[in-house]
Structure formats: structure tokens, C-alpha cells
Chains A and B, each alone.
Chain A
Amino acid sequence: MSTLYLLFFLLLIASLGSFLMGERGVRGRGLPSGSEWVVLGFVLGPSLLGVLNSQDLELFAPVSAVAVGWIALLAGISFGTDGARRVPLPRMALGLLSALLCGAVVALAVWATLEHLPAAGATLPGARDRLLVALGCGAALAASAQQAVRWAAVRLGARGPLTVLLGDLAHSDELVPIAAAGLVIATDTSRGLPAMPGLGLLLGAGLGLLTALLLGREMRRSWMWALLFGISLLAAGVAVQLDLSLLATLFALGFFAALASPLRSEVRRIPAEVEGTIVLPALFIAGTRVSLGETAILVVVAAALAARLLGKALASLVPLAASPAARRSGPALAWALDSAGPLNVAVGLAFQLRYPGPVGNTVLAAAAAAAVVGEFVGPVALRRALRRAGELSEPAASERHAEVAS
């Protein structure tokens, strides 16, 4: 009956997800990045309580693949836009540069840890595996959770140019982890299939254009759903079968479907309706698959987290240099975008599905830990930065006490 339990949990979480990530929920309940669901999955999973066992989780591997794919699809559909507003190109470049910087710092730190700390490199003796872990951690920890900025705007009522700037950066840095993970997976030939870099993007772009073509100007809801759902499943299945990057394929699919469709606002709105239904179960599944049993993993995760803090601090210099609004917030901006959310965890999960064993476990553990740590660091720093920039009102004394206590 354990499979039924898992299914039931997932459906329950999907239900809660829709509630929590809807407007009412954002205003009232749940952590900004939803990392509590990663923790819940970890607690109930085989690593801790064992309510759900490893065999059942393997049965749900296709569901995990769909969840990863949909997170990438949603990222692709909304890439470079914040609602109906397009993110200006210079800001997109800033966002990409920040993520690239942070990812590179993390990858280098993890590589150095694996090479120079025997305790960390014990389970990963091969150079290829070490490189994979370094690149995987770099990809998984590069981006920031856009949900955190949305949370600040919706729940805390932040208003002003810095809020918009941070929202823009968070809405345009997703390309870095997806491209990095895509490149790593597409060039890997360890499963006996030839390396086909770019094929995932090509497939996704082709299917995205096909989606736009078929959607035409047909406004019927069932038609749109059947096409979006059918094509995304087909794309995910083909990507898995040909050992292409699921993330890159689905991201390209979403991006091109939204770009080419005359109904782009509808295309963007419909998947967003199910965001919570998809995202929280995905975080839960990721949590169940996290394994922290080995010291080596813990050491690498600690190094990756420290490097992410450093990387985010360095990356914050980019907006500091470019925007007067950012300069007003001062050093508090360093970790304002430290929140890691669904996309970071999805990259970790994609690695774990593609590289079961020490490589995938380490990358997923790092992504999950970043989501949890980011939940403590990111929102606090973000709130402080926004207050210093005058975009968030000062809390009353009682609120300050509550904040300190929390």
C-alpha cells in the first residue's frame, strides 16, 4: 500500500499547493520558496522515517520527470517577463551575469573541495564524477527563486524600483542553470547514446512552434490544455528516451510556444494556474529522494552552500554597480537573492534522475539544502534591503519582536 500512500501524499500536496500558491495563499501562508515541502519529503522518505521506500520512489520516476519538466516549461513560458511586462534586455543581461558568476563560484568551490579534501572526495574518486558534481552544483545553485521577490511584493507590500529590479533579475537568471545542466547531460555518452548537444533545444523549439501553430487563435480551454499537456508529455518522454536534457527541452518548448503564439497571454496564464499543483509535489518528491547518509556528501554540500553565499554576495555587485536604487540598500543586498526555489531543486532532481548514485545524490542534496538555507537567509536579507531602500515600511515594535523570535 506504500505506493498508494505516496500517490495520496502527492495529490494532497498538489491540492495544498494550489491553495498556498494562489493569491490568497501568497498573502497568508507558506514559506516564500516552499522549502518546507522538501523537508517534509526528506522526513517521510527512506533516509529518515522510511514511510516511503526507495522502490516506490523508483516507480514514480516518470512522475518526477514530468514534475521537473513542468517546472522548466513554466520557467520557459515566463522567461524574460514579469506578468504582462517584458524584462528590459540590459536587466536580463544583468540577471544572467549574476547567475553565471554565482554558478561559477559554486562549481569552482565544489571542485576544489573534492580535489583537496579527502573526506569529500572519498565516494567520488573519478575525475569525471567530480566534474559532474561540480558542474551540477554550480547549475543547481546559480539561480534565485523568483517566488521570494513575489512574496515580498505581495505579502509584505514592497513597492519601488529596487523591488522591480530584483524581480527582473530573478525572472531572467533561469537560463544559466538550464543551459548548464542541458550542456552537461547532452554531452554525456555514458548511457551508450551519442552526444547530441543542442538537439534538446531544437526539439523543444520545434515542438513549441508546433504548439503555437496548432493553438492558432482557438480559445477553447480543453483544446489548449490537450495541446499543452500532450506536447509537454511527448517532449519529456522523447527527451528521456534520447537521453537529452529534460530541462532544456521543456524550457525551449515553453519559451517558443509563448513567444510565437498569438495567444501568448493565455498560454502564460494557463500553466500558471497549475503552478502550485505541480511545484509543491515536485519539491516533496525531491525531498524524498535526498540522501544525506554519507559524510562526503555533507562536506560537499557545506562547501557548496558557503560558496553560494559568497557567489551571491559577489553577484550583488552587478546590480549595485548598475542601479542607484540598489546602492541605497547597501550591503544588505548581498544575500537578498539567496532564496533558492523550485527551479534550483528541479535542476538537482534532474541530476539525480540522470545520475542515480553519489553524483546525483550530492547535487540534489546541495540543491535541497540551498532551498532550506535560502529560506532563512534570503527573505530576511531581502526585507532588510527593501527597507533600507525605502520600499518597505518599518515594522512596528511588536512586529520586530515577532521577527526576531521567528
Chain B
Amino acid sequence: MTGAARAKGFRERLAELVALVFLSVLMMALSRLTPPGAQDWQRGGRDLAAVGFFLLAGTLLSSLLELVRLPHLTGFLLAGMLAGPHVLAAVDHETVSDLSIVNSLALSLIALAGGTELRLAALRRGIRSLAAATLVQNGLALLFVPLVFVLARSLVPFTQGMELPAVFAVALLWGVVAITRSPSAVMGILSQSRPAGPLTEFTVGFVMTSDVVVVVLLALLLTAVRPVLDPTATFSLRAFGVLGHELLGSVAIGTTLGLALAAYLRFAGRQILVVLLVIGLVLSDVIAYLHFEWLLTFLTAGFVVQNLSREGDKLLHAIERTGEVVYVIFFATAGAHLDLPLVKRLWPVAVILFAARAATAAAGARLSGRMAGDPPLLRRWGFAGLVSQAGLALGIAAKVANDFPSFGAQFGALAVAAVALNELVGPVLFKLSLDRTGESGKAGEIPADEEEGAEAAPATGAVLR
């Protein structure tokens, strides 16, 4: 079978549109038939139908959006938002939260793919750019975005009545949210555009390593601002001990996993899909149970496979194949998760904070590019892949909500609103930048995988001939 896509005609597009409408109507009718609180057997069926629907709607809508050159990821997100509880209500809240099980699988694949994309040679080539960007982007975001937050505090409901030092402390926490990036969005766009070039190398390198920086900075800032926000708290460095244990442990487990994976790919090399499922569904739970950072673990594992063995490309292709289905469900579920009424309520401040973050990223790219002597295209477009935000930002917001209950819930709500904007605009911007820099499509198609082809048992007739 060929992997090449051809241009679709009017009739095919029309068929896709009609199918999308038909399936949406079917799901809406079904959701009316089985109201919340349905029996277990109906709930199981509802979840299955929702997974299938998200996969179909995401695939069809992303195909239709190709006409206006929007990335597939935007199609997946829009499909989830439209079908989700706040617009058509074809899939309800309960079902959306049931489907969160796919998150660990998708994020594991994303981290593994991210690590595999980090090639040591490319990192060496771009080390100056990455170091400068890490310093400038994070430094600027931690200075400028909190400043905007403080200036816009009259629009932020939960800062009303807070002392100025406390507002500054909350603003710093918002700064940590602002420096999070979205490996999932970057990998989603890469799997569609299949780009190659300096912008791709820079974005992957920066985004994948930024998670580690964020985790460290979060621990640092939480320790620093806690006494300001919680008068009963005292300054303690214990958090750093725990963090060190987590980071070192994760790298150690990741290295072991990477070596094991490389050995499997080298000596067995079959059924990589099932191995990936074991990693994403079983191992991620085990690692979380042991209190290690599974994102960092899988990132390290991918990095080890890519750089300490010759099996990196094989692993990457297997992940891309699996991701083709998993990413659709993951992003559509993420779209359905977006609390659109909340975004509507908080949109003025969310737009200000979104604009401040994007502007900081753009300015940071120019400044760090100049410092590192990057080519002009990288200086101009280097920020585009850094705008998207997703799970990690919301995870930090959840941590803040847990640690500071007095304002945490509203902090989380604002994070949801801002992340929603970044999640929608970021992928479009990144795809645009890859198209404009001419990097799209340069990596070529995924080669046909020998081990997955022609594995079907032969038919009796075929054997007899």
C-alpha cells in the first residue's frame, strides 16, 4: 500500500462534509437517548461511541480544513470543541472525563517521540541557539508576563483585595505557567507536516528540554513565594531534595528503558505497536506510582534509543504510525475539555496575557537569535513553535490550586482560558512558520514498515493455488 496522499476532488470533500454532519446528528440523538447517570452498560457503550466519533470527526474535519491550509491538529481540537459539552453536546462531560485514559498513552508517545527527535549531532550544532533561547525566552517571560499580569490586575477577579506583594507572588506563578510549551502540539504538527531544517531542530530541542527547566523553576518559585501567599508557611528547601530525587531517578529509569527498548528493536523488532501500548498504558502508571517524572523518563528513553543505538528511526516511525490514530483522539478530547463558557467570561484578561506571552516569545526569538548568530529565518519564526500550550500549563495550574486553595481554583480557570487561546493559535502559527521557511515535507513520507506488512495468515485458497 502506498502512503502517498493525493488531492481530493469536490465529490470527496462533499462526502466528508455530509458524513461529518450525519455522524454529529447521530451522536447528538444518542446523547439525548442516554442522559447522564445512565447504567454501566450504557456508559461503556457511550464511551466507545465517543472515541469512535472523535476519531472520525477529527479525521474528517482536519481533512476539510486542508482546504484553508489549517493544520490537522486544529481540526482535531475544533472537532472536540464542537462535539463537546459546551457546543453541540454530542459528547457529555462524563464521557469526556472517562476518555482521559487516552492522555497517558498519547503523552507517553509524545515524550518518547520528542526524545527520539533530539539528535545529539543536531543538538551540538544548535547548542548556542538553544542555550541563548532557554536563557532569554524564560528570563523574558518570567519578567515581562508577570509585569503585565500585575498591570492588568483590575481585570483579574481573584487578585481583588490582595496586597501588592501577594499580587506579585501570584504573577510570578503565572510567569511559570507562561514558560510552559506544548510538546504534544509540536509533535502533532511535525507528524502532519514532516518538516526538516533548522527551525524544526530548534523547536524540537527547545520544547522538549523546556519541560525540565519548567519543573525546576516551579519548585524554586513555589518555595520562594509560599511564605508571601501563605502566612503559616515557612521557607523550606526540602522540595529541592524531592525534586532532585525525581529528576535523577527519572533519568536513570529512562536510560534503562531506552537501552531495553533499543535491544528489543535490534533483536526482536516486531510488534512495536504493542510495546508502545505497554509503555503508554502500563509503564506510565507504574512510573507515576513510584513518584517519578514519566515525561522526563520517556524523553530520556527516546533520546537514548536515538543516540546510543541505530534504532532511533525505526522507533520514530513506529510512534508516528501509532500516533496517527492516538493523537486525533487525544486532541479531540482536549478540545472537548475546553471550558468555553469560562473562556467567554475571562476573555479580556486572557487575551491580554496571551498577547503578552506571544509578544515576549517573538521578541525573545529575535534577541536570542542575535546573541547566537542564528539565520534570519530562525530569528523571525523561532517563536512560532513556542506559542502552543497544553497539559503541563494546566498541570501547574492544578498544582497551584492544590497548594493555595484561597485563589487556586480561579487561577486554574484563568489558566484554562489562556491555554485555550494558545492551544488554538499556536499550532496554526507553527504550521505557517514551517510552510513559510520551506521546511514542510522535507523529512519525506514514513517508509513502509516491513514488520507490519503482509502479516495476515494466508487464506486456504491462496495456499492451494
Interface positions of A (Cβ within 8 A of B): 4, 7-8, 11-12, 14-15, 18-19, 21-23, 25-26, 58, 61-62, 65-66, 81-85, 146-147, 149-150, 153-154, 159-160, 163-164, 167, 171, 191, 210, 213-214, 216, 218-223, 225-227, 229-242, 266, 269, 272-273, 275-277, 353
8 new A-B contacts, CB < 8 A, other than A233-B52, A237-B52, are A8-B278, A15-B275, A23-B457, A163-B460, A213-B19, A225-B325, A226-B324, A273-B456
Whether A273 contacts B452 in the complex (CB less than 8 A), given A83-B460, A85-B459, comes out as yes
CA distance A160 to B463 in the complex (A): 11
Question: Are A85 and B59 in contact (CB-based, < 8 A)?
Answer: no
Whether A230 contacts B59 in the complex (CB less than 8 A), given A15-B271, A83-B458, A153-B460, comes out as yes
With a cutoff of 8 Å between Cβ atoms, the chain B residues found around residue A230 in the complex are 52-56, 59
Distance of B90 from chain A, by nearest CB (Å): 11
Residue ID in chain B nearest A154 by CB atoms: B463
Residue ID in chain B nearest A232 by CB atoms: B52
Question: Are B455 and A241 in contact (CB-based, < 8 A)?
Answer: no
Question: Are A273 and B52 in contact (CB-based, < 8 A)?
Answer: no
CA distance A275 to B455 in the complex (A): 9
CA distance A214 to B464 in the complex (A): 34
Whether A241 contacts B4 in the complex (CB less than 8 A), given A11-B277, A231-B56, comes out as no
With a cutoff of 8 Å between Cβ atoms, the chain A residues found around residue B285 in the complex are 4
Question: Are A11 and B325 in contact (CB-based, < 8 A)?
Answer: no
A-B contact list, 6 entries, CB within 8 Å: A11-B274, A14-B277, A23-B457, A214-B19, A240-B41, A277-B274
Question: Are B1 and A219 in contact (CB-based, < 8 A)?
Answer: yes
Question: Are B42 and A4 in contact (CB-based, < 8 A)?
Answer: no
Q: B334 on the interface (CB 8 Å rule)? A: no
Across the interface, A84 reaches (CB within 8 A) one of B47, B457, B462, namely B462
With a cutoff of 8 Å between Cβ atoms, the chain A residues found around residue B402 in the complex are none
Residue ID in chain A nearest B55 by CB atoms: A230
Q: B282 on the interface (CB 8 Å rule)? A: yes
Segment from B26-34, B139-147, B245-253, B428-436 that makes contact with A: B26-34
Q: B161 on the interface (CB 8 Å rule)? A: no
Q: B49 on the interface (CB 8 Å rule)? A: yes
Interface size on B (CB < 8 Å)?
Answer: 63
Distance of B352 from chain A, by nearest CB (Å): 38
Whether A240 contacts B42 in the complex (CB less than 8 A), given A8-B278, A220-B4, A234-B53, comes out as yes
With a cutoff of 8 Å between Cβ atoms, the chain B residues found around residue A160 in the complex are 464
CA distance A171 to B60 in the complex (A): 34
Distance of B209 from chain A, by nearest CB (Å): 29
Across the interface, B457 reaches (CB within 8 A) one of A4, A15, A22, A238, namely A22
Interface members, chain B 304-336 (any A CB < 8 Å): 321, 324-325, 328
Across the interface, B461 reaches (CB within 8 A) one of A21, A85, A234, A239, namely A85
CA distance A216 to B16 in the complex (A): 10
Q: B50 on the interface (CB 8 Å rule)? A: yes
Distance of B66 from chain A, by nearest CB (Å): 12
Question: Are A238 and B26 in contact (CB-based, < 8 A)?
Answer: yes
**Nearest 3 pairs of A and B residues by beta carbon:** A237-B49, A83-B459, A240-B45
Question: Are B16 and A214 in contact (CB-based, < 8 A)?
Answer: yes
Whether A159 contacts B464 in the complex (CB less than 8 A), given A14-B274, A150-B458, A241-B34, comes out as yes
Whether A18 contacts B49 in the complex (CB less than 8 A), given A84-B459, A240-B42, comes out as no
With a cutoff of 8 Å between Cβ atoms, the chain A residues found around residue B460 in the complex are 82-83, 146, 149-150, 153-154, 163-164, 167, 171
With a cutoff of 8 Å between Cβ atoms, the chain B residues found around residue A23 in the complex are 455-458
Distance of A274 from chain B, by nearest CB (Å): 9
Question: Are B56 and A226 in contact (CB-based, < 8 A)?
Answer: yes
Q: Is the interface of B mostly helix, strand, loop or mixed?
A: helix
Distance of A220 from chain B, by nearest CB (Å): 5
With a cutoff of 8 Å between Cβ atoms, the chain B residues found around residue A235 in the complex are 52
Question: Are A150 and B459 in contact (CB-based, < 8 A)?
Answer: yes
CA distance A81 to B462 in the complex (A): 11
Distance of A64 from chain B, by nearest CB (Å): 9
Q: B46 on the interface (CB 8 Å rule)? A: yes
Question: Are B56 and A272 in contact (CB-based, < 8 A)?
Answer: no
With a cutoff of 8 Å between Cβ atoms, the chain A residues found around residue B328 in the complex are 226
Q: B232 on the interface (CB 8 Å rule)? A: no
Across the interface, A163 reaches (CB within 8 A) one of B3, B55, B464, namely B464
With a cutoff of 8 Å between Cβ atoms, the chain A residues found around residue B270 in the complex are 18-19
Question: Are B1 and A266 in contact (CB-based, < 8 A)?
Answer: yes
Question: Are B324 and A225 in contact (CB-based, < 8 A)?
Answer: yes
Question: Are A210 and B22 in contact (CB-based, < 8 A)?
Answer: yes
With a cutoff of 8 Å between Cβ atoms, the chain A residues found around residue B52 in the complex are 229-237
With a cutoff of 8 Å between Cβ atoms, the chain B residues found around residue A232 in the complex are 52
Q: Which of B4, B12, B51, B325 has the most CB of A within 10 A?
A: B51
Question: Are A150 and B457 in contact (CB-based, < 8 A)?
Answer: yes
CA distance A341 to B457 in the complex (A): 15
Q: Which of B46, B281, B328, B461 has the most CB of A within 10 A?
A: B461
Question: Are B4 and A269 in contact (CB-based, < 8 A)?
Answer: no
Q: B2 on the interface (CB 8 Å rule)? A: yes
With a cutoff of 8 Å between Cβ atoms, the chain A residues found around residue B2 in the complex are 219-220
Question: Are B325 and A229 in contact (CB-based, < 8 A)?
Answer: yes
With a cutoff of 8 Å between Cβ atoms, the chain B residues found around residue A12 in the complex are 274, 278
With a cutoff of 8 Å between Cβ atoms, the chain B residues found around residue A8 in the complex are 278, 282
Question: Are B48 and A65 in contact (CB-based, < 8 A)?
Answer: yes
Distance of A159 from chain B, by nearest CB (Å): 6
Contact with A along B261-290 (1 / 0, CB 8 A): 000000000110011011001100110000
Distance of B365 from chain A, by nearest CB (Å): 32
With a cutoff of 8 Å between Cβ atoms, the chain B residues found around residue A7 in the complex are 281-282
CA distance A242 to B38 in the complex (A): 12
Question: Are B45 and A11 in contact (CB-based, < 8 A)?
Answer: no
Q: B68 on the interface (CB 8 Å rule)? A: no
Q: Which of B42, B48, B285 has the most CB of A within 10 A?
A: B48
CA distance A152 to B316 in the complex (A): 39
Residue ID in chain A nearest B45 by CB atoms: A240
Q: B375 on the interface (CB 8 Å rule)? A: no
With a cutoff of 8 Å between Cβ atoms, the chain B residues found around residue A146 in the complex are 460
Whether A241 contacts B457 in the complex (CB less than 8 A), given A234-B49, A234-B52, comes out as no
With a cutoff of 8 Å between Cβ atoms, the chain A residues found around residue B359 in the complex are none
With a cutoff of 8 Å between Cβ atoms, the chain B residues found around residue A150 in the complex are 457-460, 463
Interface members, chain B 1-46 (any A CB < 8 Å): 1-6, 8, 12, 15-16, 19, 22-23, 26, 30, 33-34, 40-42, 44-46
With a cutoff of 8 Å between Cβ atoms, the chain B residues found around residue A223 in the complex are 5, 59, 63
Residue ID in chain A nearest B26 by CB atoms: A238
Across the interface, A61 reaches (CB within 8 A) one of B33, B41, B457, B458, namely B41
CA distance A98 to B51 in the complex (A): 39
